A and B are shown apart, each in its own frame.
Chain A
Amino acid sequence: MPDEDRKRAAHRALVDRLLHGDGKASAQDRARAFHNNGLTPPLDALIAKVADSPTQVSAADLAAAKASGRTEDQLFELVVCAAVGRSTRLYEAGLTALAEAMLKEGPGNAT
């Protein structure tokens, strides 16, 4: 397997496990956390911070999510999904931009 494929394969294995394996949180909620979309308050605020402004996450955000009935194991899973989801979007955005840049640089496509 080419080296780069090994990196992507290892990343995909992580994503597949988070989204499709067993969990204490439902697969639907794990997918919502991964995509930072569709969760209800107060969990939506915590997950949005993990994805978009992680240094702003506070103990109070986690406490509010727990007070709404989520267990610590569920929060562990959903925070992990949010973090990996955001970094997956960055990885894919970078690879897409690279592929397009290479197309434009290719022979016969010089601008």
Chain B
Amino acid sequence: MRLEILNHGYGPGTKLLFALIRLFSRHPVPDAARLVFYRPDFYGTRAKAFTHEAMRGPSAWSVGDRELMAAYVSEVNGTAFCIGAHTATASQAYQDPPRVAAVLADLETAPVAEPLRATLRMLGTLTREGKVSVEDMRAVLAADATPEQVRDALAVCAAFNTTDRLADAFGFELLSPEGYEAGARYLLKRGYQ
């Protein structure tokens, strides 16, 4: 990463943990995971709590749907690390990689239900333009997404607009396809906490 403190500024316990993860997973610890261990009282502890609540807390959206939202927001932002991570996680969650690829290639023709399509469209507008109109939001409700689903999707959007920015600003190193798959298995098993 672009700040040396994020590469080397960890205590002995955390360094040991990173070594154990590397040993057992046979993959380096992803920068997204390393970041939340740096001075966790400043950012990591509360960021993990919010992200876990958004991604794994109670919701009418499935885990796969929310991982797809994370991948889609990251695609709109052009954040390569997070596109890779959440494409892999959504694909594993759905057990349907072509579906995820289709959404990222062309949302309008992808094989997803209308409430999800309309919600993703709105998240794309919000992420791209920094705002969303009342008419945009009414279109999501008219597509039968509930207000609770919209709120849940906005929480996912907030979490990943943060993570995407940190990935790009700090320069998260991209993973191999096997690294993303291993990370996805971890996120589906343990979540973000």
Contact = CB atoms under 8 A, between A and B. Distances in A.
Are A and B genuine complex partners? Answer: yes
Contact of B155 (A57, A91, A97): A91
A101 interface: yes
A75 B3 CA distance: 9
Interface residues of A, number: 48
Interface of B: 2-6, 9, 38-39, 41-43, 46-47, 49-50, 53-54, 57-59, 77-79, 122, 126-127, 130-134, 136-138, 140-141, 147-148, 150-152, 154-155, 157-159, 161-162, 164-166, 168-171
A57 B77 CA distance: 13
Interface in A47-82: 49-51, 54-55, 57, 59, 62, 72-73, 75-77, 79-80, 82
26 contacts: A4-B151, A6-B57, A7-B151, A13-B46, A13-B49, A13-B50, A17-B41, A17-B42, A17-B46, A21-B41, A54-B77, A55-B77, A55-B78, A72-B5, A73-B5, A73-B39, A76-B39, A79-B165, A80-B42, A80-B166, A82-B169, A84-B162, A90-B158, A94-B154, A97-B131, A105-B138
